[in-house]
Amino acid sequence: MAWLASFIAGFLIIRFLVVILNTFTFPALKIKSNRQNSFLVSILIPARNEQKNLPVLLTNLRNQDYKNIEVIVYDDQSSDKTPEIAEKFSKLDSRFSWIKGEDLPVGWIGKSFGCHLLAKKANGKFFMFIDADVQVGPGLISSAIHYFDSKHLKLLSIFPDQKMLSAGEKSTVPVMHWILLTLLPLILIRKSRLVSFSAANGQFMLFDALNYNRYHYHELVKNHPVEDIMIMKVMKKLGFRTATLLGNNQIICRMYHGYKDALQGFSRNIVDFFGGSIFILVLYNFVTTFGLVIIAIGWNIYFSIAYLIILLTMRIFVSWLGKQSIIGNILYMLPVQISQLAISFLSIRNRMRGLILWKGRKIKI
Protein backbone atom coordinates (compact mmCIF):
# COMPACT_ATOMS: atom_id res chain seq x y z
CA MET A 1 0.00 0.00 0.00
CA ALA A 2 2.94 2.33 0.65
CA TRP A 3 3.96 2.29 -3.02
CA LEU A 4 0.41 3.22 -4.06
CA ALA A 5 0.40 6.04 -1.52
CA SER A 6 3.69 7.28 -2.99
CA PHE A 7 2.23 7.25 -6.50
CA ILE A 8 -0.87 9.17 -5.38
CA ALA A 9 1.19 11.73 -3.47
CA GLY A 10 3.46 12.24 -6.48
CA PHE A 11 0.45 12.75 -8.76
CA LEU A 12 -0.97 15.30 -6.33
CA ILE A 13 2.30 17.24 -6.28
CA ILE A 14 2.37 17.33 -10.10
CA ARG A 15 -1.21 18.62 -10.21
CA PHE A 16 -0.40 21.19 -7.53
CA LEU A 17 2.55 22.47 -9.58
CA VAL A 18 0.30 22.71 -12.65
CA VAL A 19 -2.16 24.82 -10.65
CA ILE A 20 0.64 27.07 -9.41
CA LEU A 21 1.95 27.54 -12.96
CA ASN A 22 -1.54 28.39 -14.22
CA THR A 23 -1.99 30.83 -11.35
CA PHE A 24 1.27 32.71 -11.91
CA THR A 25 0.96 32.80 -15.71
CA PHE A 26 -2.73 33.80 -15.36
CA PRO A 27 -3.95 32.51 -18.76
CA ALA A 28 -6.95 34.81 -18.99
CA LEU A 29 -8.08 37.28 -21.63
CA LYS A 30 -6.65 40.74 -20.94
CA ILE A 31 -9.01 43.64 -21.58
CA LYS A 32 -7.90 45.73 -24.56
CA SER A 33 -10.81 47.94 -25.60
CA ASN A 34 -11.15 50.70 -28.21
CA ARG A 35 -9.06 48.88 -30.78
CA GLN A 36 -9.05 50.32 -34.30
CA ASN A 37 -11.83 48.70 -36.32
CA SER A 38 -9.61 48.09 -39.35
CA PHE A 39 -10.54 44.46 -40.14
CA LEU A 40 -13.95 42.89 -40.57
CA VAL A 41 -14.69 40.22 -37.96
CA SER A 42 -17.33 37.62 -38.78
CA ILE A 43 -19.27 36.53 -35.68
CA LEU A 44 -20.72 33.12 -36.51
CA ILE A 45 -23.42 31.66 -34.26
CA PRO A 46 -24.86 28.15 -34.68
CA ALA A 47 -28.23 28.10 -32.89
CA ARG A 48 -30.76 25.35 -32.24
CA ASN A 49 -33.77 26.19 -30.04
CA GLU A 50 -32.04 29.17 -28.40
CA GLN A 51 -34.95 31.62 -28.07
CA LYS A 52 -34.09 32.32 -24.41
CA ASN A 53 -30.38 32.94 -24.94
CA LEU A 54 -30.04 34.40 -28.41
CA PRO A 55 -31.54 37.88 -27.75
CA VAL A 56 -29.05 38.47 -24.93
CA LEU A 57 -26.04 37.51 -27.02
CA LEU A 58 -27.14 39.53 -30.06
CA THR A 59 -27.73 42.57 -27.87
CA ASN A 60 -24.26 42.13 -26.36
CA LEU A 61 -22.77 42.01 -29.85
CA ARG A 62 -24.55 45.20 -30.93
CA ASN A 63 -22.92 46.93 -27.94
CA GLN A 64 -19.34 45.91 -28.74
CA ASP A 65 -16.75 48.68 -28.92
CA TYR A 66 -15.36 46.95 -32.02
CA LYS A 67 -17.86 48.02 -34.67
CA ASN A 68 -16.54 46.49 -37.89
CA ILE A 69 -18.36 43.18 -37.55
CA GLU A 70 -20.86 41.02 -39.35
CA VAL A 71 -23.03 38.68 -37.29
CA ILE A 72 -24.50 35.61 -38.96
CA VAL A 73 -26.84 33.23 -37.14
CA TYR A 74 -27.39 29.69 -38.42
CA ASP A 75 -30.84 28.42 -37.43
CA ASP A 76 -30.35 24.69 -37.08
CA GLN A 77 -33.98 23.66 -37.73
CA SER A 78 -35.23 25.14 -34.45
CA SER A 79 -38.75 24.37 -33.26
CA ASP A 80 -38.99 27.57 -31.18
CA LYS A 81 -38.71 31.28 -32.04
CA THR A 82 -34.99 31.28 -32.81
CA PRO A 83 -35.47 32.24 -36.51
CA GLU A 84 -37.90 35.04 -35.62
CA ILE A 85 -35.38 36.49 -33.18
CA ALA A 86 -32.60 36.32 -35.77
CA GLU A 87 -34.87 38.02 -38.33
CA LYS A 88 -35.78 40.78 -35.86
CA PHE A 89 -32.13 41.67 -35.24
CA SER A 90 -31.34 41.58 -38.96
CA LYS A 91 -33.95 44.30 -39.43
CA LEU A 92 -32.59 46.34 -36.51
CA ASP A 93 -28.96 46.26 -37.64
CA SER A 94 -27.64 45.83 -41.18
CA ARG A 95 -24.57 44.04 -39.83
CA PHE A 96 -26.78 41.14 -38.70
CA SER A 97 -28.17 38.34 -40.86
CA TRP A 98 -29.22 34.72 -40.58
CA ILE A 99 -29.44 31.60 -42.67
CA LYS A 100 -31.98 28.82 -42.54
CA GLY A 101 -30.69 25.38 -41.63
CA GLU A 102 -30.43 22.52 -44.08
CA ASP A 103 -31.07 18.82 -43.54
CA LEU A 104 -28.11 17.24 -41.84
CA PRO A 105 -26.05 15.23 -44.36
CA VAL A 106 -24.96 11.70 -43.55
CA GLY A 107 -21.68 11.67 -41.65
CA TRP A 108 -22.03 15.14 -40.17
CA ILE A 109 -22.76 16.30 -36.61
CA GLY A 110 -25.19 19.21 -36.39
CA LYS A 111 -22.95 21.87 -34.88
CA SER A 112 -20.01 21.18 -37.18
CA PHE A 113 -22.28 21.31 -40.21
CA GLY A 114 -23.76 24.62 -39.05
CA CYS A 115 -20.31 26.11 -38.50
CA HIS A 116 -19.19 24.87 -41.92
CA LEU A 117 -22.12 26.62 -43.63
CA LEU A 118 -21.61 29.78 -41.59
CA ALA A 119 -17.98 29.98 -42.71
CA LYS A 120 -19.09 29.75 -46.34
CA LYS A 121 -21.24 32.88 -45.85
CA ALA A 122 -18.65 34.85 -43.90
CA ASN A 123 -16.56 37.67 -45.39
CA GLY A 124 -14.32 38.72 -42.51
CA LYS A 125 -10.58 38.53 -41.99
CA PHE A 126 -11.36 36.70 -38.76
CA PHE A 127 -13.97 34.02 -38.08
CA MET A 128 -15.28 34.08 -34.52
CA PHE A 129 -17.53 31.12 -33.70
CA ILE A 130 -19.63 31.75 -30.59
CA ASP A 131 -22.31 29.57 -29.01
CA ALA A 132 -25.74 31.14 -28.63
CA ASP A 133 -25.88 30.59 -24.86
CA VAL A 134 -22.95 32.85 -23.95
CA GLN A 135 -22.97 36.47 -22.80
CA VAL A 136 -20.09 38.75 -23.80
CA GLY A 137 -18.66 41.97 -22.43
CA PRO A 138 -18.32 45.12 -24.57
CA GLY A 139 -14.57 44.65 -25.06
CA LEU A 140 -14.52 40.97 -25.97
CA ILE A 141 -13.85 41.33 -29.69
CA SER A 142 -11.24 44.06 -29.25
CA SER A 143 -9.44 42.08 -26.57
CA ALA A 144 -9.54 38.79 -28.46
CA ILE A 145 -8.29 40.29 -31.74
CA HIS A 146 -5.49 42.11 -29.92
CA TYR A 147 -4.31 38.90 -28.24
CA PHE A 148 -4.69 36.91 -31.47
CA ASP A 149 -2.56 39.36 -33.45
CA SER A 150 0.06 39.92 -30.76
CA LYS A 151 0.72 36.18 -30.34
CA HIS A 152 0.57 35.42 -34.10
CA LEU A 153 -2.12 32.78 -33.65
CA LYS A 154 -4.22 30.78 -36.07
CA LEU A 155 -6.71 29.71 -33.38
CA LEU A 156 -7.73 31.21 -30.05
CA SER A 157 -10.23 29.42 -27.85
CA ILE A 158 -11.68 30.74 -24.61
CA PHE A 159 -13.33 28.91 -21.72
CA PRO A 160 -16.16 31.17 -20.52
CA ASP A 161 -16.69 31.91 -16.85
CA GLN A 162 -19.54 29.70 -15.69
CA LYS A 163 -22.79 30.81 -14.06
CA MET A 164 -24.04 28.23 -11.55
CA LEU A 165 -27.43 28.97 -10.02
CA SER A 166 -28.77 25.62 -8.80
CA ALA A 167 -27.26 23.09 -6.40
CA GLY A 168 -27.12 20.61 -9.29
CA GLU A 169 -24.98 22.98 -11.34
CA LYS A 170 -22.69 23.73 -8.40
CA SER A 171 -22.21 19.99 -7.99
CA THR A 172 -21.22 19.39 -11.61
CA VAL A 173 -19.98 22.42 -13.56
CA PRO A 174 -16.76 22.94 -11.49
CA VAL A 175 -15.58 19.55 -12.78
CA MET A 176 -14.58 21.21 -16.08
CA HIS A 177 -12.23 23.86 -14.67
CA TRP A 178 -10.96 21.46 -12.01
CA ILE A 179 -9.77 18.91 -14.58
CA LEU A 180 -8.52 21.57 -17.01
CA LEU A 181 -6.51 23.69 -14.58
CA THR A 182 -5.04 20.85 -12.50
CA LEU A 183 -3.85 18.72 -15.41
CA LEU A 184 -2.87 21.16 -18.16
CA PRO A 185 -0.64 24.26 -17.97
CA LEU A 186 -2.56 26.45 -20.41
CA ILE A 187 0.53 28.40 -21.40
CA LEU A 188 1.95 25.22 -22.96
CA ILE A 189 -0.92 25.08 -25.43
CA ARG A 190 0.66 28.12 -27.06
CA LYS A 191 4.31 27.51 -26.20
CA SER A 192 4.57 23.81 -27.02
CA ARG A 193 4.08 22.07 -30.35
CA LEU A 194 3.10 18.81 -28.65
CA VAL A 195 -0.43 17.75 -29.62
CA SER A 196 -0.98 16.40 -26.09
CA PHE A 197 -1.06 20.00 -24.87
CA SER A 198 -4.44 20.68 -26.47
CA ALA A 199 -7.65 21.98 -24.96
CA ALA A 200 -10.36 24.07 -26.57
CA ASN A 201 -13.93 25.13 -25.95
CA GLY A 202 -16.36 25.36 -28.85
CA GLN A 203 -18.24 28.16 -27.11
CA PHE A 204 -15.56 30.53 -28.41
CA MET A 205 -13.23 29.72 -31.32
CA LEU A 206 -11.43 32.52 -33.20
CA PHE A 207 -9.72 31.65 -36.50
CA ASP A 208 -7.70 33.43 -39.13
CA ALA A 209 -10.14 33.31 -42.05
CA LEU A 210 -7.57 32.57 -44.77
CA ASN A 211 -6.22 29.66 -42.76
CA TYR A 212 -9.70 28.35 -41.99
CA ASN A 213 -10.82 28.56 -45.61
CA ARG A 214 -7.76 26.64 -46.68
CA TYR A 215 -8.41 23.67 -44.39
CA HIS A 216 -12.16 23.84 -43.57
CA TYR A 217 -11.59 22.57 -40.05
CA HIS A 218 -15.20 21.75 -39.17
CA GLU A 219 -15.39 19.58 -42.26
CA LEU A 220 -12.22 17.74 -41.22
CA VAL A 221 -13.87 16.73 -37.91
CA LYS A 222 -17.44 16.61 -39.20
CA ASN A 223 -18.37 13.35 -37.45
CA HIS A 224 -16.60 13.92 -34.14
CA PRO A 225 -18.77 14.88 -31.12
CA VAL A 226 -15.91 16.87 -29.55
CA GLU A 227 -15.06 19.03 -32.53
CA ASP A 228 -13.30 21.79 -30.57
CA ILE A 229 -10.50 19.68 -29.10
CA MET A 230 -10.09 17.74 -32.33
CA ILE A 231 -9.74 20.94 -34.38
CA MET A 232 -6.99 22.19 -32.08
CA LYS A 233 -5.17 18.86 -32.34
CA VAL A 234 -5.40 18.99 -36.13
CA MET A 235 -4.04 22.53 -36.20
CA LYS A 236 -1.15 21.67 -33.88
CA LYS A 237 -0.28 18.69 -36.07
CA LEU A 238 -0.18 21.06 -39.02
CA GLY A 239 2.26 23.27 -37.10
CA PHE A 240 -0.02 26.26 -36.45
CA ARG A 241 0.16 28.29 -33.27
CA THR A 242 -2.89 28.04 -31.01
CA ALA A 243 -3.84 29.28 -27.56
CA THR A 244 -6.52 28.75 -24.93
CA LEU A 245 -7.53 31.31 -22.31
CA LEU A 246 -10.04 31.81 -19.52
CA GLY A 247 -12.86 34.31 -19.92
CA ASN A 248 -11.92 36.87 -17.24
CA ASN A 249 -15.51 38.21 -17.08
CA GLN A 250 -15.54 39.04 -20.81
CA ILE A 251 -17.42 35.90 -21.77
CA ILE A 252 -19.86 34.18 -19.42
CA CYS A 253 -22.13 31.19 -19.81
CA ARG A 254 -24.73 29.27 -17.88
CA MET A 255 -23.77 26.08 -19.62
CA TYR A 256 -26.36 23.77 -18.07
CA HIS A 257 -29.64 24.16 -16.22
CA GLY A 258 -29.75 21.58 -13.46
CA TYR A 259 -28.03 18.35 -12.48
CA LYS A 260 -29.39 15.97 -15.12
CA ASP A 261 -28.66 18.42 -17.93
CA ALA A 262 -25.06 18.83 -16.74
CA LEU A 263 -24.47 15.09 -16.38
CA GLN A 264 -25.67 14.49 -19.93
CA GLY A 265 -23.64 17.37 -21.33
CA PHE A 266 -20.30 16.63 -19.69
CA SER A 267 -20.58 12.91 -20.36
CA ARG A 268 -20.26 13.70 -24.09
CA ASN A 269 -16.63 14.69 -23.87
CA ILE A 270 -14.92 13.92 -20.56
CA VAL A 271 -13.08 10.93 -22.08
CA ASP A 272 -11.54 13.28 -24.66
CA PHE A 273 -10.04 15.37 -21.83
CA PHE A 274 -7.93 12.26 -21.16
CA GLY A 275 -6.76 11.68 -24.70
CA GLY A 276 -9.70 9.41 -25.49
CA SER A 277 -8.39 6.76 -23.06
CA ILE A 278 -11.00 5.08 -20.85
CA PHE A 279 -8.20 3.48 -18.83
CA ILE A 280 -6.62 6.84 -17.94
CA LEU A 281 -10.05 8.25 -17.04
CA VAL A 282 -10.76 5.31 -14.72
CA LEU A 283 -7.31 5.61 -13.14
CA TYR A 284 -7.79 9.35 -12.60
CA ASN A 285 -11.14 8.75 -10.90
CA PHE A 286 -9.69 6.03 -8.68
CA VAL A 287 -6.75 8.18 -7.56
CA THR A 288 -8.78 11.35 -6.95
CA THR A 289 -11.61 9.52 -5.16
CA PHE A 290 -9.65 7.22 -2.85
CA GLY A 291 -6.36 9.10 -2.59
CA LEU A 292 -6.99 10.52 0.87
CA VAL A 293 -7.86 7.11 2.32
CA ILE A 294 -4.93 5.35 0.66
CA ILE A 295 -2.49 7.98 1.94
CA ALA A 296 -3.85 7.50 5.48
CA ILE A 297 -3.53 3.70 5.29
CA GLY A 298 -0.24 3.54 3.39
CA TRP A 299 1.52 6.23 5.39
CA ASN A 300 -0.27 7.89 8.32
CA ILE A 301 -2.97 10.36 9.28
CA TYR A 302 -0.59 13.34 9.27
CA PHE A 303 0.25 12.84 5.61
CA SER A 304 -3.46 12.54 4.80
CA ILE A 305 -4.05 15.88 6.54
CA ALA A 306 -1.28 17.44 4.43
CA TYR A 307 -2.88 15.85 1.35
CA LEU A 308 -6.20 17.47 2.22
CA ILE A 309 -4.60 20.87 2.83
CA ILE A 310 -2.97 20.76 -0.61
CA LEU A 311 -6.30 19.80 -2.18
CA LEU A 312 -8.01 22.72 -0.48
CA THR A 313 -5.27 25.10 -1.65
CA MET A 314 -5.71 23.86 -5.21
CA ARG A 315 -9.47 24.42 -4.98
CA ILE A 316 -8.87 28.01 -3.88
CA PHE A 317 -6.54 28.78 -6.79
CA VAL A 318 -8.72 27.03 -9.39
CA SER A 319 -11.83 28.84 -8.12
CA TRP A 320 -10.04 32.18 -8.32
CA LEU A 321 -8.80 31.51 -11.85
CA GLY A 322 -12.27 30.46 -13.02
CA LYS A 323 -14.05 33.39 -11.31
CA GLN A 324 -16.03 30.93 -9.18
CA SER A 325 -17.01 31.06 -5.53
CA ILE A 326 -14.11 29.82 -3.41
CA ILE A 327 -16.27 28.97 -0.41
CA GLY A 328 -18.92 27.40 -2.63
CA ASN A 329 -16.42 25.16 -4.41
CA ILE A 330 -14.90 24.03 -1.10
CA LEU A 331 -18.33 23.22 0.34
CA TYR A 332 -19.23 21.29 -2.80
CA MET A 333 -15.96 19.33 -3.02
CA LEU A 334 -17.58 15.97 -2.20
CA PRO A 335 -20.66 16.44 -4.44
CA VAL A 336 -18.38 17.53 -7.30
CA GLN A 337 -16.26 14.41 -6.87
CA ILE A 338 -19.36 12.20 -6.86
CA SER A 339 -20.61 13.99 -9.97
CA GLN A 340 -17.25 13.42 -11.65
CA LEU A 341 -17.69 9.69 -11.06
CA ALA A 342 -21.24 9.79 -12.45
CA ILE A 343 -20.15 11.77 -15.52
CA SER A 344 -17.28 9.36 -16.15
CA PHE A 345 -19.56 6.33 -15.84
CA LEU A 346 -22.07 7.80 -18.30
CA SER A 347 -19.31 8.76 -20.71
CA ILE A 348 -17.81 5.26 -20.67
CA ARG A 349 -21.25 3.75 -21.14
CA ASN A 350 -21.82 6.04 -24.14
CA ARG A 351 -18.50 4.93 -25.64
CA MET A 352 -19.43 1.29 -25.17
CA ARG A 353 -22.78 1.87 -26.87
CA GLY A 354 -21.25 4.08 -29.54
CA LEU A 355 -24.11 6.56 -29.23
CA ILE A 356 -25.02 9.78 -27.42
CA LEU A 357 -28.14 11.94 -27.44
CA TRP A 358 -27.67 15.71 -27.78
CA LYS A 359 -30.05 18.53 -28.73
CA GLY A 360 -32.66 15.95 -29.71
CA ARG A 361 -30.29 14.15 -32.10
CA LYS A 362 -28.63 10.77 -31.83
CA ILE A 363 -24.88 11.03 -32.46
CA LYS A 364 -22.71 8.02 -33.25
CA ILE A 365 -19.30 7.99 -31.61
Which residue ranges form the domains of the chain, and what is each CATH number? 2-25+267-364 (no CATH), 41-255 (3.90.550.10)
Confidence of residue 226 (pLDDT cuts 50, 70, 90): confident
The fraction of the chain above a pLDDT of 70, given in percent, is 95
Nearest in space to 261 (alpha carbons), one of 165, 349, 157, 134: 165
Q: Encode pLDDT of 122-153 as tens digits.
A: 999 999 999 999 999 999 999 999 999 999 99
| 364 — pLDDT class (breaks 50, 70, 90) | low
The reported pLDDT for the residue numbered 362 is 59
pLDDT value for 352? 79
pLDDT of residue 19: 98
Note the pTM of the prediction, 2 decimals.
Answer: 0.92
The predicted pLDDT at position 37 comes to 67
358 pLDDT higher than 60: no
Other Cβ atoms less than 10 A from the Cβ of 263: the count is: 19
Q: What is the pLDDT of residue 230?
A: 94
Phi/psi class of residue 359: alpha, beta or left (left: φ > 0; alpha: ψ in -120 to 50)?
Answer: left
pLDDT for the residue numbered 360: 56
The whole-number average pLDDT for the span 176-181 is 95
Is the CB of residue 69 less than 8 Å from the CB of residue 40? yes
Q: Is the pLDDT of residue 174 over 60?
A: yes
Instruction: List phi, psi (to 5°) of 162.
Output: -105, 130
Give the mean pLDDT of 268-273.
83
Q: What is the DSSP string of 135-150?
A: EE-TTHHHHHHHHHHH
Per-residue pLDDT band for 157 (boundaries 50, 70, 90) equals very high
Predicted pLDDT at 341: 96
The dihedral through the CA atoms of 305, 307, 309, 312 has a sign that is: negative
Average predicted confidence (pLDDT) for the chain: 92
Rounded to an integer, the average pLDDT of 10-31 is 96
pLDDT value at 173 more than 60 = yes
Mean pLDDT for 83-111 is: 93
Give the tens place of pLDDT for each residue, 61-87: 999 999 999 999 999 989 999 999 999
**pLDDT class for 363, splitting at 50, 70, 90?**
low
Binning pLDDT at 50, 70 and 90, where does residue 3 land? confident
Q: How deeply is 183 buried, as exposed, middle or buried, from its count of CB atoms within 10 A (0-12, 13-18, 19+)?
A: middle
pLDDT number for residue 271: 87
